[in-house]
């Protein structure tokens, strides 16, 4: 699906707000520009995750927050996984997830996370494992928390 030009125009309409916020968050002029560019890049890449009935300004601020968090993770040297919110699962994403999860061990919950990364639903996984979709969600949430703690990422 091709991104509509109206979406690009809507993103650019909020550029003054992004600049204002970046001025408050970053002292260095180059860091401010990098933050704005990262935010716009993410917004254009993840355009399908924006709800047409949602507020563009709030969604863009969320993208900026994600860009700031990614920068902090890079600076801290933590393992950075690709941002896949709103993006179809890929073989590369599953391979990265397997490699990252291998740091924790081979438990059922970690295997479920990989299956989620490959695009299976919680209901499908639950049916195959003989548990409910809710139990899959609980197990994978706990596995994500353990993984984040292990690699030094703040999930709060």
* pLDDT tens digits for range 124-156: 999 988 999 999 999 888 888 877 777 666 655
Residue 89: pLDDT over 70: no
Which residues form the domain of 13?
A: 5-76
The reply to whether 69 and 101 lie within a common domain is no
DSSP-assigned letters across all residues of 33-68: HHHHHHHHHHHHHTGGGS-TTS-HHHHHHHHHHHHH
Q: Is residue 126 part of a domain?
A: yes
Task: Please state the domain count of the chain.
Answer: 2
Q: Is residue 103 part of a domain?
A: yes
Better-scored residue on pLDDT, 62 or 102: 62
Better-scored residue on pLDDT, 75 or 58: 58
Q: Specify the residue for token string 């990252």.
A: 100
The reply to whether 95 and 69 lie within a common domain is no
Q: Is residue 38 part of a domain?
A: yes
**H/E stretch holding 119:** none
The pTM for the full model equals: 0.47
Position 87 confidence tier, pLDDT thresholds 50, 70, 90: low
Q: Is residue 100 part of a domain?
A: yes
Looking at the chain, the whole-number percentage of residues with pLDDT higher than 70 is: 78
The reply to whether 63 and 101 lie within a common domain is no
Q: Is residue 27 part of a domain?
A: yes
Residue 81, judged by CB atoms within 10 A of its CB (0-12, 13-18, 19+), counts as middle
Q: What is the mean pLDDT of residues 24-33?
A: 88
Token output for 10? 């809507």
């Amino acid at each position: 699906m091709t991104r509509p030009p109206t979406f690009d125009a809507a993103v650019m309409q909020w550029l003054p707000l992004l600049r204002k916020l970046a001025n408050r968050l970053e002292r260095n002029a180059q860091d401010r520009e990098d933050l704005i560019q990262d935010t716009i890049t993410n917004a254009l890449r993840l355009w399908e995750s924006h709800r047409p009935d949602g507020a563009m300004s709030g969604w863009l601020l969320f993208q900026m927050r994600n860009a700031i968090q990614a920068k902090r993770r890079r600076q801290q040297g933590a393992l950075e996984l690709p941002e896949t919110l709103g993006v179809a699962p890929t073989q590369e994403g599953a391979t990265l997830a397997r490699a990252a999860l291998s740091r924790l061990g081979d438990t059922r919950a970690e295997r479920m996370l990989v299956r989620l990364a490959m695009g299976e639903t919680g209901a499908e996984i639950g049916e195959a494992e003989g548990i409910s979709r809710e139990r899959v969600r609980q197990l994978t949430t706990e596995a994500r928390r353990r993984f984040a703690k292990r690699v030094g990422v703040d999930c709060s």
